[in-house]
């Protein structure tokens, strides 16, 4: 994102010197650019200009309340997957009608709470969930709007852990059962059938899996039409992938054009397109800062050991994800290649491997592209305090989450008096 730039050899976020932020708030520290998020939002808006659409930000990508507020201000709705995410968006005063409740494992309690909050849409992922939702709705005397998430069995060509549209995945209703179930729902007076949905995976770098999924969904829409059932919305799930290293992502306009062509070509051009982008609207907006504690050289390896680790950012450890690592103050890079690792007691605790960086203790390193699935996946493993988060807006920097205190680490724990 162009909001992170070196000025006189020091990395800035918008108008703020990142070294100053580290001095003030300490490390590990997440820093986000508001402008960068706004640009990503505007990119979606302009690609869908003139096309009937609805955007629901996928809260799981970064669920800080201040970040959610940015999306709310832009008029976006929210895609949630738990009662906790629901509580977050209600906490910032989001319009419940603009919420889509996704997820394979909604509990009875979550369904009740979401119905009481008058959540806009439930994305149903199984027959059992349909039965649970419709019976609770009957009892609560309400009529929720529902989409059915169909598993189109297409290969998204992404990391297997974040691929969700194959028939071997737990997600969605299998393609062949979907017709019967949707027909049942159309005849059920306790739900209002509003749309069809799929989400085939995250970090998609090519649009062809979206198009394959779209073709499959249209096959189903045609069958439903023959049975006299018409839907209003078609939800394609998460947004497009991002460039971490050398991924080539086509312009969003191409996705819109392809989807529109397919829908209009088969008589479904009037459907509203729903998308639930997460990664592509926040990834580039965030960096994770760490301070190098030790430069460690062994006969076979060189390490930069930082105070940021896998508990702060788990993507490299979990998916072997490659994320850029930059020195905050530009210096001469040594000839050596370093593994950038954290202090956590396991070998999966790495942030980058074989990186050309300065060999300097005390230097600040920035893992960039860390705004999505960074802080939202952070843990307190090794009793490490969750990091602080700062949001930059022009020349201003706001603390949007204070660092855990030591007491926060055991805040919910109880030592029975009998022990």
State the nearest-atom distance from the C-beta of 25 to ligand LLP, in Å: 24
Interacting positions 205-224 with ligand LLP (CB under 6 A): none
Inter-CA distances, 210 with 106, 221, 242, 252, 278, Å: 26, 16, 15, 12, 16
276 known member of a binding site: yes
Instruction: Identify the residue among 28, 152, 165, 278 touching ligand LLP (CB under 6 A).
Output: 278
User: Closest separation between CB of residue 17 and ligand LLP, Å?
Assistant: 29
> Which residue, 294, 378, 298, is CA-closest to 340?
294
CA–CA distances in Å: residue 305 to residues 334, 355, 364: 16, 13, 11
Residue 297 phi, psi dihedral angles, 5° rounding: -120, 130
Residues 147-186 close enough to bind ligand LLP by CB under 6 A: 162
Scan residues 356-395 and list those touching ligand LLP (CB under 6 A): 373
Which CB atom, from 59 or from 364, has the smaller least distance to ligand LLP?
Answer: 59
x/- site string to ligand LLP, residues 297 to 336, per CB under 6 A?
------------------x---x-----------------
* Contact by Cβ (8 Å): 365, 306: yes
Sheet holding 4-7, edge to edge: 4-7, 10-13, 16-17
Coil, strand, or helix at residue 243? Answer: coil
Q: What is the DSSP string of 52-67?
A: -EEEEEEGGG---HHH
Among this protein's residues, is 188 annotated catalytic? Answer: no
Nearer to ligand LLP, 190 or 199 (CB): 199
Q: What phi-psi label fits residue 382: left (phi over 0), alpha (psi between -120 and 50 degrees) or beta?
A: left
- Is 394 annotated as a binding-site member? no
What distance in Å separates the CA atoms of residue 91 and residue 349, rounded to the nearest whole number?
A: 34
Q: Which of 56, 214, 333, 345 is catalytic?
A: 345
Q: Binding site annotation covers 57? A: no
**Nearest CB to ligand LLP, comparing residues 203 and 306:** 203
What is the rounded (10 degree) CA torsion for 91, 96, 102, 108? 80
Could you tell me the smallest distance in angstroms from the CB atom of residue 198 to ligand LLP?
9
Cα separation, 51 vs 399, in Å, equals 37
In this complex, which beta carbon is closest to ligand LLP, that of residue 18 or of residue 194?
194
How far is residue 351 from each of residues 73, 111, 342, 379, measured CA to CA in Å?
33, 38, 7, 15
Minimum CB–partner distance for residue 123 and ligand LLP (Å)? 7
Of 32-40, 272-280, 344-352, 382-390, the segment contacting ligand LLP by CB under 6 A is: 272-280
Of 72, 203, 285, 311, the one binding ligand LLP by CB under 6 A: 203
| Residue closer to ligand LLP, measured from CB, 153 or 393 | 153
Q: Rounded distance, CA 308 to CA 69, Å?
A: 27
How many whole angstroms from its chain centre is CA 87? Answer: 17
Rg (CA), the chain: 23
The nearest distance, CB 202 to ligand LLP, in angstroms, is 3
Residue in the structure block whose two tokens are 């990508």: 61
Distance in Å, CB of 278 to ligand LLP, minimum: 3
Member of 77, 172, 238, 290 binding ligand LLP (CB under 6 A): 238
Closer to ligand LLP by CB, 327 or 371: give it. Answer: 371
Binding residue numbers: 239, 276-279, 315, 319, 346, 373
Q: Would you tell me which residues interact with ligand LLP (CB under 6 A)?
A: 58, 61, 79, 102, 162, 199, 202-203, 237-239, 276-280, 315, 319, 373
Catalytic positions: 345
Please state the residue numbers annotated as binding site for pyridoxal 5'-phosphate: 239, 276-279, 373
């Amino acid at each position: 994102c162009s909001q992170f730039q070196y000025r006189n050899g020091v990395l800035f976020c918008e108008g703020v010197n990142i070294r100053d932020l580290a001095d003030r708030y300490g490390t590990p520290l997440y820093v986000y650019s508001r402008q960068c998020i706004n640009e990503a939002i505007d990119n979606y808006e302009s690609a869908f200009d003139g096309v009937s659409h609805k955007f629901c930000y996928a809260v799981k990508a970064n669920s800080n309340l201040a970040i959610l507020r940015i999306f709310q201000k832009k008029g976006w709705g929210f895609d949630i997957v738990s009662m906790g995410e629901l509580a977050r968006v209600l906490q910032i005063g989001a319009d419940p009608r603009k919420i889509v409740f996704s997820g394979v494992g909604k509990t009875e309690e979550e369904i009740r709470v979401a119905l009481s909050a008058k959540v806009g849409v439930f994305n149903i992922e199984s027959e059992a969930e349909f039965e649970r939702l419709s019976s609770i709705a009957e009892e609560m005397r309400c009529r929720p709007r529902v989409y059915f998430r169909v598993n189109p069995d297409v290969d998204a060509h992404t990391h297997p852990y974040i691929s969700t549209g194959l028939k071997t995945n737990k997600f969605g209703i299998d393609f062949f059962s979907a017709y019967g179930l949707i027909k049942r729902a159309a005849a059920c007076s306790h739900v209002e059938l509003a749309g069809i949905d799929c989400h085939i995976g995250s970090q998609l770098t090519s649009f062809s899996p979206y198009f394959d999924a779209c073709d499959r969904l249209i096959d189903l829409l045609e069958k439903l039409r023959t049975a006299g059932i018409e839907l209003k919305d078609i939800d394609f799930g998460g947004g497009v992938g991002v460039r971490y290293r050398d991924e080539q992502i086509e312009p969003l306009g191409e996705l819109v054009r392809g989807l529109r062509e397919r829908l209009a070509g088969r008589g479904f051009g009037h459907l509203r397109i729903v998308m639930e982008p997460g990664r592509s609207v926040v990834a580039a907006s965030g960096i994770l800062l760490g301070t190098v504690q030790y430069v460690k050289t062994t006969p076979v390896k060189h390490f930069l050991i930082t105070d940021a680790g896998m508990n702060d950012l788990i993507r490299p450890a979990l998916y072997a994800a490659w994320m850029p690592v930059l020195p905050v103050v530009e210096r001469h890079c040594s000839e050596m290649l370093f593994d950038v690792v954290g202090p956590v007691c396991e070998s999966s605790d790495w942030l980058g491997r074989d990186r050309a960086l300065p060999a300097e203790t005390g230097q600040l390193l920035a893992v960039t592209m860390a705004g999505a699935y960074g802080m939202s996946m952070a843990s307190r493993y090794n009793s490490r305090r969750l990091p602080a988060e700062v949001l930059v807006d022009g020349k201003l920097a706001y603390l949007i989450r204070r660092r855990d205190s030591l007491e926060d680490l055991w805040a919910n724990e109880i030592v029975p008096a009998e022990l």
